[in-house]
A and B are shown apart, each in its own frame.
Chain A
Amino acid sequence: MTGEAPAAPPPGEPPATPPTADAGSPTERATIVVTDDLERSRLTTFFRLILVIPHLIVLALFSILALVLAIINWFWALFTRNTVAHDMQARYLRYATHVFGYLNLIANPFPGFEGAPGSYPLDPQVPEPEPQNRWKTGFRLVLVVPALMLATTLGVAGSSSYSGNYSVGLITTVAFLAWFAILAIGRMPRGLRDLGVYCLNYGIQYWAYVLIVTDRYPDSDPLTKDYGPDPAPDQPIRISEDAELRRSRLTVFFRFLLFLPHLIWLLLWGIVVQFTVIANWFVTLFAGRPADPLHRFNGAYLRYVTHVYAYVSLVANEFPGFVGAPGTYPVDLHIAPRERQNRWKTGFRLILAFPAMILASAVGGLLFFVALFGWFVGLFLGRMPLGLRNLGVFALRYSAQASGYLWVLTDRYPFSGPSLEQLPLEQPPTESAPLPEPA
């Protein structure tokens, strides 16, 4: 990352190209190559927790060896800038990724015990050994703390708590929901798989950093990951963001207090929306499609919620308006015009939305992390790291999709994979009639 943010396009204009992170070349950071075909065996899925036990035993023993090597390498790198037994550590990272991919249903085949490269649909690419910075090595345990917190939020840190608060982590939520989905349809939902890949990808980068395999800091950007050759399916609710990473330190410091007027308005408007959502549900159930005014009204509220949460979580810099008008904010929600909806899906929407709401709650943890670290980084550097910002954009988009589904704005199920953000937003869908300009 250069630290220099390019000029922001006018509010409302989608970026010309999807934003990317300067994350270094693929060989500099560990990454996972995905060749998984989403097919899953119901039988092995049902017994997955039991089947994985032998691997967990081997992994535990392997972990002890990896830890000892990491301690040796810490001293060695501190004096010589180089590490020893790199192949062994790389094998450990591959094997751990295979095992956790299998455990969390991110991949289907039973993995081998060797951690051999190219042997699994989730194939970790561990960077080649290179001289490491002594300062980064010496202070590794301190430097790793933010990454540890994100890894814990994702559930790939190997611990479930960093502050005494127990957390199962995002990947466990993914696995829990995927277990039911696979047993029902015999396939892994693409979005859940991609989200799991993101978690594992961050996990391998985190562990490569912790185990002194590389001194490249883990990259939280979901846009730089490989989610397989097929693009994610498009969705009626999408998000766009500008390239602005500059943050005003003054507004960062007081961000929560500046959010308060919006909070009041969110609550007041939200009371009305509760009734309009119910009304729209009835209309959709009987007419087969939402009422246009209600669709636009609820859509405006959802867009407003996205604007406000983008602001308070430092995903965006500018103070948002109060009416949720499309095209008025750098992080904008694009909601397709109302369309015909399946009555069955409408009738049982509350039940059907339950898994999405569970996942949205877990993704909300990511947004909290983004806000927390974005606050510190924004205050000190006056800008938001691109990876953190993009992670926040993903969290906001998924939360908006989950709410949009629950509020009958669409009957398309929310797509939980961060891979959707890699899909260019060429022709942002717009609502049938624009809302009035903000006051």
Chain B
Amino acid sequence: MGERPIAAEARDLVKDFDGKRAVDGVSLSVPEGSITGILGPNGAGKTTCLRMMLGIIDPSSGTRTILGHDRPLEIAHQVGYLPEERGLYPAMPAVEAIAFMGALRGLPLREGRRRAMELLKSRGHEDWAKRPIRTLSKGMAQTVQLFGTIIHNPRLIVLDEPFAGLDAINQQKLEQLIRDQAAAGVTIIFSTHVIAHAERLCERIAIIAEGRAVFEGEVDEARGRLRPIVHLRTRAEDGSWRAALPPSAKLVGGEWQFELPASGPEPLLKALIEGGAGIETLSIERPGLHDAFIAIAGEAAAREMGHVPAVEEAA
């Protein structure tokens, strides 16, 4: 993270709805120019956290600061927000919808229209300009709303489940747009329950489960919580080499999987060879974010997100 200034910060955010705690003491800090992913299953409290940070709702307790302001709406003209529930006026032409979203955040309407046309043209969508939103497909409308989110050149962009409802091509385009914005120095926060997007895009993540931030830090830090996984296939089914495997080793589809022992790969290899394992294949895999997520948030959270644990079969 270095010494970069903080673009957005939450401290002990709590939100109760009708006596039920939706968010329970979430803290996170987002450095300027970073891409930060908020990961968690549906209902974990990601959207509520984002809404509190943006000032749409007030926290029951705790504080938040956006671009140095503790009243987020005061700095709304420097923030872009794509809500989870996409919302556009159905009768409004696309170019007007984009310009209107800019106007809400202080961009003069005329300038908004000009930039909207530029944005649409740059993506080859100029034929959408005059079309009312109701005549656009869901993906097209989502793109229009995304353009409306960035039309005023915000310093901070908050995207709530931005990939939901997009096909693979549009997901790729959106990922590129996020990278482009980040390259231009814009801070990006997005929530998702698809770990792959976070893994490809983020340098920082916050994992939220049951209203609590169970991890907040760099992606490598999350991965670093797990030891590398060894994948081993042997000709020998049994022998003294088995003593080199940790007790947690599991046999999955004829392949042994286990965490690399703390002593490292060399003593392991030596023990396997000397123990007559007859190594067919051996690979050491750095844990992915997915594994880190399961380790941090737990298998239940991973299941809610549609990710089943990789190691299923006990040895």
**Does A pair with B?**
no
**A residues touching B (Cβ–Cβ < 8 Å)?**
none
